[in-house]
Amino acid sequence: MKSICVYCGANFNGDPVLKAAIEKLTARMSERGISLVYGGGSVGVMGLLADEMLSRGGAVTGIIPQFLMDKEVGHKGLTEMIVTSNMHERKKKMADLSEAFLILPGGFGTLEEFFEVLTWLQLGLHNKAIGVLNIGGYYDNLFAQMDVMVEQRYLKQANRDLVFNEQDPELLLEKMMNFSATPDEVWFKDRNLT
Ligand code: AMP
């Protein structure tokens, strides 16, 4: 694995457990030569993540639309910054440049990006691993809702199981590196043909 796209908040609540997890995550990524692809901001969890990665000598590519350069304060010290003309271009570029997706705590933007790549995996449009770094159980209610969706038969268990849910960055990275569903397998799972 050469690059991971991380989706995370443009805000940060100061949680020291999250900060420690980001330190561990960026240490493992830089040691293994895995580059970071993210939204390009210098604020919130996004900014913290980029700074931690850079401080460990890791490569960081930011991808930000022009109109957010001021609002999310485009990071000035990245290895590479790609400025897109709109949100859709940003998301496509982030996905295309990455071999896996990681979700850290965030708000609507983070969830939107998470569910987009998850539905693309469910549809077999890519076969890249998706992992949620569920610090302090921040996303427990979201996973509980997924279980309700399975119980109520709006979501297949096999698709519910496509996403990794871990609190430890090292364990999550291990699981993601061993993920190997092919688009065909995902496609068949989605249609309950296996
Ligand atoms: P949030 O999780 O709301 O703090 O947002 C985190 C990141 O997601 C920020 O960089 C937002 O610009 C980005 N974002 C918000 N909405 C969207 C969207 N519809 N498409 C792509 N990125 C988004």
How would residue 116 be classed by pLDDT, with cut points 50, 70 and 90?
Answer: very high
Q: What is the pLDDT of residues 49-90, one digit of tens each?
A: 999 999 999 999 999 999 999 888 899 999 999 999 999 999
Mean pLDDT of 10-29: 98
- Ligand 1, atom 17: nearest CA belongs to which residue? 109
| Contact of 81 with 40, CB cutoff 8 Å | yes
Task: Tell me what pLDDT residue 183 has.
Answer: 57
Mean pLDDT of 100-129: 97
Q: Which atom of ligand 1 is nearest to the CA of 65?
A: 12
Task: Tell me what pLDDT residue 194 has.
Answer: 46
- Report whether residue 72 contacts ligand 1, using a CB cutoff of 6 Å: yes
- Report whether residue 73 contacts ligand 1, using a CB cutoff of 6 Å: no
Question: Ligand 1: distance of its center to the CA of 100 in Å?
Answer: 18
Task: Tell me what pLDDT residue 189 has.
Answer: 61
Integer Cα distance of 86 and 65 in angstroms: 5
CATH classification code of 3-190: 3.40.50.450
How would residue 42 be classed by pLDDT, with cut points 50, 70 and 90?
Answer: very high
Q: Which atom of ligand 1 is nearest to the CA of 110?
A: 2
Mean pLDDT of 143-154: 98
Q: What is the pLDDT of residues 128-145, one digit of tens each?
A: 999 999 999 999 999 999
Question: Ligand 1: distance of its center to the CA of 164 in Å?
Answer: 21
| Contact of 7 with 104, CB cutoff 8 Å | yes
Q: What is the pLDDT of residues 157-185, one digit of tens each?
A: 999 999 999 999 999 999 999 998 765 66
- Ligand 1, atom 7: nearest CA belongs to which residue? 109
Task: Tell me what pLDDT residue 31 has.
Answer: 97
Is it the case that residue 192 has pLDDT exceeding 90? no
Average pLDDT for the chain = 94
- Report whether residue 91 contacts ligand 1, using a CB cutoff of 6 Å: yes
